[in-house]
Homo-oligomer: A and B are copies of this chain.
Amino acid sequence: MAGFVSHFTNRLDAKGRVSIPASFRAVLARDGFEGLYCISSSHCQAVDAGGNELLAEIEKRSEAFAKLSPDHDALAVALFGASENPKIDGDGRMTISDMIRDHTGITDQVTFVGMKYKFQIWEPEKFREYRAEAQKRALAMLSGQPPASSQGESA
């Protein structure tokens, strides 16, 4: 396996659970992280999820500042205060917390999007919009256009 790839959409059940795609579970198992590490994205209505590799990436960001300093505290609140460690049950499911619901707008379906070292959790329709937008941007970038400076969440 080469990290989290492809994307899948699964249904939420009455108890607020979703199956994590089997191929993602395989990656997580190999990574060895207990459960799942989730952090809401600061620039889109999605939640980043993953294991040790993602966590290491996050930790790296706060290491530049001395602990107990105001800067470190602010960063820690923004990063870890907005994180969660959902468990994965015996059937490979996780529960979508209120925090994830609020940040993503998820109601009854969840789209899992592989991004190599992490994956994202999206509300399916919002993901479709984001994806279309991302493709346009990619096209513009490839054709040498100056990238649109606005990346407002127009959702």
Contact = CB atoms under 8 A, between A and B. Distances in A.
A107 interface: no
A42 B139 contact: yes
A55 B147 contact: no
B84 A6 contact: yes
Contact of A68 (B23, B58, B114): B58
Copies in the complex: 2
18 contacts: A2-B55, A2-B85, A4-B80, A5-B85, A6-B80, A6-B81, A61-B142, A62-B116, A73-B115, A73-B134, A74-B134, A75-B134, A75-B142, A78-B131, A78-B138, A78-B139, A80-B116, A115-B155
A29 to B, nearest CB: 15
A71 interface: yes
Nearest to A85: B5
Interface in A36-74: 37, 41-44, 48, 55, 57-62, 64-65, 67-68, 70-71, 73-74
Interface of A: 1-7, 23, 33-34, 37, 41-44, 48, 55, 57-62, 64-65, 67-68, 70-71, 73-81, 83-85, 99, 113-117, 120, 130-131, 133-135, 137-139, 141-142, 145, 147, 153, 155
